[in-house]
Structure 1
Amino acid sequence: MLLVIDVGNTSIVFGVYHEKELIQNFRIASDQKRTSDEYGLIFYNLLSHAGIEANQIDDVIVSSVVPNLMHTLPSMIIKYFNRRPIIVNMDLNYDLNILYDNPSAVGADRIVNAVAALEKYGGPCIIIDIGTAMTFCAVDGKRNYLGGAIFPGIGISAEALFSRTSKLPRIEIIKKDRVIQTDTVSSIQSGLYHGFNLMIDGIIEKMMEEEGWQADTTNIISTGGFSALLTHESKFDMIIDRDLTLEGLRIIYEMNSDVILKR
């Protein structure tokens, strides 16, 4: 079995594959204060509760956008799973031509998502990852990673309203059917929900315009914690794929099997 781990700023999402089938997946808080032993017990207990023992894990692959956890987690994996993890970095093969000015500056999650989107849906494609930060990535049909855009996520925006204003409260992020609301909490919820929905569609439209792509021939995929909430009413034919990053990790592992066997 393959253990795949995606380390984000707010959450760590991990899952277990048996060949190409995702048989279990989990989401826990990403906490830089936890020790390797604390993470080890969390992983061990969650997997054990799902009927998966540590000695059943044949290999581990990790992508991370949190550098401070990239000593803690590999140490945990070595100690609790007796495996040296594969880390998503520029040493691996992605069959992807990264056209960033500095390819090594592209976040690991964006590379993983791009690989998964191409494998599952084909290019050209636009990938929107809606997490702590919101990223838009464009990949053409020739496997060129063209770049994209990065925004503060909806959670950051909601927290900023609460922390940087005197009277606005902390709110739950939910769907509001109408833009015009008649109380403060609902007005904030409306602004965030409708504002982000319209922004997402607007950025997609602008990206396709810049590349000369058409909506009927461009695959548009959303993933991340808020993907279902913020893209299910899109004017575009949106593919909502919550497991895109985990799939990408599995695909990258398989793409690098020759290198991995030589470790």
Structure 2
Amino acid sequence: MLLAFDVGNTNIVLGVFKDGNLIQNWRLETDNNKSADEYGMIINQLFSYVGLSTKEIKDIIISTVVPSVLYTLQHLSMKYFNKRAIVVGPGVKTGLVIKYDNPKQVGADRIVNAVAAYAKYGGPLIIVDFGTATTFCAITEKAEYLGGTIAPGIKIASDALFEKTAKLPKVELEEPGHVICKNTIESMQSGLVYGHMGMVDYIVKKMKKELEQYSSSGNSAKVVATGGLATLIESGIDCIDCVDKLLTLEGLELIYEKNKGHKGWK
């Protein structure tokens, strides 16, 4: 079995694959201060709860945008699973042609998402990932990763309003149902949620237009959303074709299959 870690700035999503199928997945808070032993004990408890044994794990793969957590998880892999973790990074076979000016600057999570989405849906394709940042990635029908847009995530915007103002409170991220709001809480919710919906709609429309020059088939780009807040934002706009919350984990499994057995991965 394969254990996959997707490490984001806010959450760590981990999943267990058996024969290419995702059989369990969990979401933990990303904590730079947690030790390998602390994460190890949490994972042991999660495994025990569903009847899995750490001895069943044959390989581990990690995608991370948080370098400080990488060493911790590598240490965890050796101590609790007796495995040297595979880390997604430069030199890894993905099946994509990276057209970014500097391919090393592309976040591992964006590449992993693109691998999974292209395998499942083909191209042209736009992937919107609602994480700590909201990212937009464009992939052509020829599996070319062109690049995209990075915007502040909705939680970052909410925290900024609370931290940078004297009187505005923290609010739950939910739709108030209207934009002419008569109290501060709903006014903030309206600005945060509907403002984010408007941003997503605008960027997707512009990205679709720019993608047309790369398409020989004339097909319109399919828009796939992922990330923790994808369902909230997708509910209010029409530009998203589907929500696929486990996209990154599936991408990690695909990358593992493309690279296992290659020199340098063991």
TM-score (normalizing by structure 1): 0.96
Q: Does the Cα contact within 8 Å between 1:36 and 1:75 map onto a contact in 2?
A: yes
Alignment map for 1:94-113 (pairs within 5 Å): 94-113=94-113
State the SS of the aligned residue for 1:259.
Answer: coil
Distance 1:246 1:160 in 2: 30
Q: Distance in 1 between matches of 2:183 and 2:163?
A: 19
- TM-superposed CA distance for 1:261, in Å, is 9.0
Q: 1:44 and 2:44 equivalent?
A: yes
Once residues 195 and 263 of structure 2 are traced to their aligned partners in structure 1, the CA distance between those partners, rounded to angstroms, is: 44
- 1:182-209 residue CA offsets vs partner (Å, 9 max, x unmatched): 1000000011111111110110001111
Q: Aligned residues, how many?
A: 263
- Rounded to whole Å, the distance in 2 between the matches of 1:97 and 1:218 is 18
Structure 2 CA distance for partners of 1:216 and 1:199, relative to 1, 3 Å: farther
User: Secondary structure of the residue that 2:180 maps to in structure 1?
Assistant: coil
Contact 2:225 2:240 (8 Å CA) reproduced: no
Which residue of 2 is the match for residue 198 of structure 1?
Answer: 198
**Counterpart in the other structure of 2:181:** 181
* Equivalent residues of 2:138, 2:211 under 8 A apart: no
Deviation of residue 226 (structure 1)? 0.4
- Segments of 4+ in structure 1 off by > 4 A? 213-216
Quote the offset at 1:212 in angstroms.
1.8
12 and 171 in structure 1: CA distance in 2 versus 1, 3 angstrom threshold: same
Report the Cα offset of residue 262 of structure 1: 6.4
What residue number does 2:235 align with? Answer: 232
What aligned pairs does 1:161-176 form with structure 2 within 5 A after superposition? 161-176=161-176
- Amino acid paired to 1:121: Y
1:247 aligns with 2:240: no
Aligned partners of 1:176 and 1:190 also within 8 Å? yes
Q: Deviations over 1:122-164 (max 9, x none)?
A: 0110000001111000000111100000011000100000000
Identity %: 47
Q: How far apart, CA to CA, are the structure 2 residues paired with 1:262 and 1:222? A: 31
Question: Aligned residue for 2:212?
Answer: 212
Give 1:92's aligned residue. 92
Question: Structure 1: how far apart are the matches of 2:265 and 2:153?
Answer: 40
Letter of the aligned partner of 2:123 in structure 1?
G
TM-score, structure 2 length as denominator? 0.95
Kept after mapping to 1: 8 A contact 2:124/2:211: no
Secondary structure of 1:236's counterpart equals coil
> Unpaired segments of 5 or more residues in structure 1?
none
| TM superposition shift of 1:232 | 2.6
SS state at 2:261 partner: helix
Displacement of 1:258: 3.1
Query: Could you tell me which amino acid in structure 2 is paired with residue 132 of structure 1?
Result: T
SS in structure 2 at match of 1:28: strand
1:92-121 deviation line (CA, Å, top 9, x unaligned)? 101111111110110000000000010010
- In structure 2, runs of 5+ residues without a counterpart are none
**Matched letter for residue 137 of structure 2:** C
Amino acid at match of 2:257: E
Indicate conservation of the 8 Å contact 1:232/1:238, yes or no: no
AA at the equivalent of 2:104: S
Matched, 1:258 2:232: no
Determine if the alignment matches structure 1 residue 64 to structure 2 residue 64.
Answer: yes
- Which amino acid letter does the alignment assign opposite residue 39 of structure 1? Y
Residue by residue over 1:63-99, the C-alpha shift from the partner in whole angstroms, topping out at 9 and shown as x without a partner, is 0000011111100011001111110011210111111
Q: Distance in 2 between matches of 1:262 and 1:127?
A: 28
Alignment match, 1:6: 6
Quote the Cα distance in structure 2 between the aligned partners of 1:244 and 1:88: 15
In the other structure, the counterpart of 2:224 is 221
CA distance in 1, matches of 2:250, 2:209: 29
